[in-house]
Amino acid sequence: MNETTIPKLLKDLEALPFDMREKDFLLTWELSKENLLAILKTGLLLKELHRTGRSMRVFDTGLAVSIFRDNSTRTRFSFASAVNALGLTLQELDERTSQIAHGETERETAVMISFLTQAVGIRDDIFLGEGDRYQRNFIQAIKEAYQEGILHQRPVLVNLQSDIDHPTQSMSDLAKLIDYFGGIENLKGKKIAVTWAYSPSYGKPLSVPQGVIGLVTRFGMEVTLAHPQGYELLPDVANLAKKQAEASGGSFSVTENMEEAFKNADAVYPKSWAPYQVMVRRTELLKSGNTASLKDLEKECLANNAKYKNWECTEEMMKLTRAGKGLYMHCLPADISGVSCKEGEVSASVFDAYRKDLYHQASYKPFLIAAIILLSRMKDPLSTLKKLSQHEKSLIL
């Protein structure tokens, strides 16, 4: 990037009718395109500030609280680095060592952790039908406490992955696509294949593929969703993607053929996920603590997955993409055949060929998370961003 990038981004933001003040970040399709673009442009601006060694600090004090109910590397560290860069102190809430273990309610937890807190990040993707509900209950408790004057400020809630959407990931994916194709205007008409891929594990959330199709269909892309029979996504999200594609001048189609999806694709996103009906059954068994039936379900699902080992992103598959040069994408970690597993989602040769692109794709996430928090919490975000851009460059870099 050159020095004109920050002035250009500031100018774009000035012309954009966005309003993210005290808005939470749950599902991308609940936000206007203007707000999504504001997050993207602010994230790029913060990324450039960091690249040139300038401060992103906008808070003198305050907490950011993260609640991870599932494992995480990229999102966990992206949230931590984002809030640290903004000047907040991170506190991870461990439910096992908190009073939640003794029956503290969601409502009580939400208020008790929010007194001096500016942002709360939650990952809750294990239980289908529960993660999004939990986050919304959390927000409602915070809103009520703020309205009652118990809280002096209302922290923003950032969805770090739910059972429905993984919005910080899909925004990072979109940022990569915009960069790769040279501008958001160039996404229109580009074909992206979002496909299921074989994995030697089961129970992977549906929220990554749902997040992708729920976002890129708003920008005129030609989206093909591919999966074996029985591996459907949430019907509501698939229907939403189709409506959004029609409204944006793009398209949305579904196939049970991976090769068909890859053919002439400009970008491919092969990622394993569990069948919707399996996730429903799994949730019921997890809630009941029926470990014996869970093991039986796992055996059943792994056996079913094994029928589709040919759903792998290989060099031969990549040759089917447009001119054989389509972009390979993944949220990471990928199941790499012969590396992290015997047989998996992607061959080692394809993964290695696109390793730089994959890491670049992941690099947007901390800056986009920081952008969401800044835009939601600052009364005048444009003035704040202008002040940050006027900082001298650090001598460290």
Same domain, 208 and 149: no
Structural domain includes residue 397: no
Same domain, 177 and 202: yes
By the 10 Å C-beta count (0-12 exposed, 13-18 middle, 19+ buried), 97 is classed as exposed
Same domain, 207 and 82: no
Domain that holds residue 277: 170-361
Angstrom distance (rounded) from CA 138 to CA 157:
8
Angstrom distance (rounded) from CA 13 to CA 253:
34
Angstrom distance (rounded) from CA 225 to CA 211:
12
pLDDT digit string, tens, across residues 44-94: 999 999 999 999 999 999 999 999 998 899 999 999 999 999 999 999 998
Structure tokens at 238: 């698939």
CATH number of the domain that residue 62 is part of: 3.40.50.1370
Structural domain includes residue 150: yes
Domain count, the chain: 2
By the 10 Å C-beta count (0-12 exposed, 13-18 middle, 19+ buried), 361 is classed as buried
Task: Count CB-CB contacts under 10 A for residue 132.
Answer: 19
Say if CB 328 and CB 314 are below 8 A apart: no
Same domain, 249 and 276: yes
Structural domain includes residue 377: yes
Same domain, 232 and 130: no
Structural domain includes residue 134: yes
Same domain, 101 and 181: no
Same domain, 258 and 186: yes
For the chain, 397 residues long, give each residue's pLDDT as a single digit of tens: 444 589 999 999 999 999 999 999 999 999 999 999 999 999 999 999 999 999 999 999 999 999 999 889 999 999 999 999 999 999 999 887 788 777 888 899 999 999 999 999 999 998 888 999 999 999 999 999 999 999 999 999 999 999 999 999 999 999 999 999 999 999 999 999 999 999 998 879 999 999 999 999 999 999 999 999 999 999 999 999 999 999 999 999 999 999 999 999 999 999 999 988 888 888 888 888 888 888 898 899 899 999 999 999 999 999 999 999 999 999 999 999 999 999 999 999 999 999 999 999 999 999 999 999 999 999 999 999 999 999 877 645 4
Same domain, 208 and 115: no
Nearest alpha carbon to residue 236 among 127, 123, 132, 126: 132
Same domain, 121 and 225: no
Structure tokens at 222: 């030609």
Same domain, 216 and 77: no
Identify the pLDDT of residue 219. 98
Structural domain includes residue 395: no
Same domain, 302 and 262: yes
**Alpha helices in 66-105, H assignment, sequence order:** 74-86
Amino acid identity of 223?
Answer: V
Cis amide linkage into residue 381, ω under 30° from 0: no
Structural domain includes residue 251: yes
pLDDT digit string, tens, across residues 302-353: 999 999 999 999 999 999 999 999 999 999 999 999 999 999 999 999 999 9
Structural domain includes residue 381: yes
Structural domain includes residue 127: yes
Say if CB 109 and CB 100 are below 8 A apart: yes
Same domain, 180 and 265: yes
Report CA-CA distances (Å) from 245 to 31, 222, 351, 391. 16, 8, 29, 41
